[in-house]
Chain A
Amino acid sequence: MKQSIIQWFKFGSPQAFYPLAGRMIPWFWAAAAAFGIAGLWISFFVAPTDAQQGEGYRIIFVHVPASWMSMFIYLVMAFWAGLGLALNTRLSGMMAQSLAPTGALMAALSLWTGALWGKPMWGAWWVWDARLTSELILFFLYLGFMALQAAIDDPRRADKAGAILALVGVVNIPIIYFSVKWWNTLHQGSTINLTKAPSMAHTMLWGMLLMALCFWMYSIAVALTRVRAIILERERHTDWVKHAVE
């Protein structure tokens, strides 16, 4: 037990985490590619045409994973930010900073694919509906977090300010998630629903889950790549960094 705690603290230092992340990145890329190929195959060649929405519903296979990841990445980012605020660990703030652009990208994709889905199905690119509006706020929270951190020169102070913003913004996540239940909105309810026609629901579910896993692995791979850059940028005046690059 004690040994394992020591291990966690060891990899909590940027110096130990930098090479570890480097070794992990190729595996996450490989997993992202494998899940992506399988997910795209199901999305386009296995999942049948929808009875109501025709082929237009296939947007679901990128819309739902992007939306899930936009919310999940925010929670992970807020977790790291909060940990950094509480324990004052160096790596935590770097992790939070590294996750923000990927989260913003996922939120942007969620909004973009949602607009492209909304137009043919609802007749509108955008409506000020609870689900859509709260997702837009999430996108702005990511942008605000990034802008705030970029505006403060001292990285440790930037981490603290960003952490407070990230933690306050967490309240938005349950609002997005439950918005379709709490308010009577245009956005459809939760997609995972196994009570529909079983064969249809199952292939759709599998396609969505595989695509979600692909997005998940992608997010980890790209966030680890970025955190390595952040580690070197922030620790560039330390001795270990001078020896870490060949």
Chain B
Amino acid sequence: MIEIAVLFAISCVGLAMALNLWRLAKGPTTADRILALDTMTINAIALMVLMQIQQGSAVYFEAALLLAMVGFVGTVAYCKFLLRGDIIE
């Protein structure tokens, strides 16, 4: 039962990442592309958590934690660059 639910969730998150990729390629403004990248990071974290449940191992937690932190810093750096033309002033 859990196996079917995990497969369903992984397919949903994979489809969501494909939609994000479409927005990343199409996005009319730069802010759209930043938003798409941020959402892809969040979906990648979800994918890692789901893969752990599927495999029954807990090896991806550190990677997911790092992605949660670095994704935020990257998004803020992109926005800061758009706003000020510089990241560290």
Is the A/B pair a real complex? no
B interface, CB within 8 angstroms of A: none
Chain A interfacial positions (CB closer than 8 Å to B): none
